[in-house]
Amino acid sequence: MRAPQLTPASRILVAGHRGLAGSALCRRLRAAGHENLVLATSSEVDLRDRAATSGWLAEHRPDVVVLAAARGGGIFGTVTQPADILSDNLRIQTSVLDAARAVGVPRLLFLASACLYPRESRQPIRETSLMGGPLEPSTEFYAIAKIAGIAQVRAVREQDGLAWISAMPTNLYGPGDNFHPTSSHVLAGLMRRIHEATQAEEPSVTVWGSGTPRREFLHVDDLAEACVTLLEHYDDPMPVNIGTGRDISTADLAKMLAETIGYTGAIEFDPGMPDGVPRRVLDIRTLTGLGWEPRIRLRAGIAATYQWYLDNTALPRQREAVRGHEMVG
């Protein structure tokens, strides 16, 4: 099959356009002249509702769909709400994918997650490691839902011949992230915790887990660029890793955040909280072979994200307190 090409006239549905990944992709598409974006908020169409989703796609008939909508919640959410996370993600995926299939959407990109890989995967993790062993228990049910989405994409390719593809991003961060105290992912959650400790002049800040797990972090603008590269150049049933190929320990990440924010207190760890897998770093040779490379280094990306947090999330009095603080580039 030959993947249809993106053009300025392409009607592109970004499902989850208000989320971290979806909003970055919309910014990237608009910057490239793709103004014909098909967008809807959850109040306009609940993607868990099969009938509503089917009717909405039948009305708007996009040429391209990027399924970036999902229910996450960080490691705390996946541990405490596994049934909700499994059910909501399965319903979102089947609603959107079945509706897209029914109207014959020729091009679709499904965004899964690197947490789908087995806990004991050989590092760096290649795409062929998928389904090669037991999952990490703390994210098992989220991973099962996303694996089902990848399987459905492959099944549609085989049965209908549509140029649908899947990708597995690593840990994301950047403008538009979720900084909730419990439902955020690791980088955003740590950023908020250290920022608040700085404002309160607390002598120490506690980081969940032991500090030893190693992860890679991808700026969401690099993810958006990767998505466009895949839509323009990739057409294969094998899902593609999206990452940096470089990892960092949670302890070193906390130190980098503290340096950026200006926190000088002690960083302590709570080993009673789950660590997740000991290490996860992706082999990104499939994607770099298409000409894509991550551009935003972690320290610079953290500084820009912290500035976004100050401008958009932190309380006004907190913004005043840090005004003039020089970011670490």
Buried b (16+ CB within 10 A) or exposed e, 82-100: beebbebbbbbbbbbbebb
The distance from CA 171 to its chain's CA centroid, rounded to whole angstroms, is 6
Known binding residue 146? Answer is yes
CA-CA distance, 203 to 185, in Å (whole number)?
A: 24
Known binding residue 215? Answer is yes
Known binding residue 230? Answer is no
Known binding residue 34? Answer is no
Provide the residue count of the chain. 329
Known binding residue 98? Answer is no
Known binding residue 18? Answer is yes
Question: Exposed, middle or buried, 273 (CB in 10 Å: 0-12/13-18/19+)?
Answer: middle
Known binding residue 325? Answer is no
Known binding residue 182? Answer is no
Known binding residue 20? Answer is yes
CA-CA distance, 158 to 181, in Å (whole number)?
A: 43
Known binding residue 170? Answer is yes
CA-CA distance, 188 to 172, in Å (whole number)?
A: 9
Known binding residue 169? Answer is yes
Catalytic residue (choose from 117, 142, 173, 263):
142
**Which residue reads 């006239």 in tokens?**
9
Is there a contact between 178 and 184 (Cβ–Cβ < 8 Å)?
Answer: yes
Compute the C-alpha angle 282/283/287, nearest 5°.
Answer: 110
Known binding residue 22? Answer is yes
Q: CA torsion angle for 192, 222, 93, 49 (degrees, to 10)?
A: 60
263 has catalytic annotation: no
Known binding residue 16? Answer is yes
Query: Residue 309 is inside which H or E element, if any?
Result: helix 298-312
- CB hemisphere CA count around 61 (13 angstroms): 4
Residue among 171, 170, 207, 213 nearest 191 (CA): 207
Residues labelled catalytic? 142
Binding residues: 16-22, 146, 169-172, 185, 193, 208, 215, 275
Binding residues for substrate: 193, 208, 215, 275
Binding residues for NADP(+): 16-22, 146, 169-172, 185
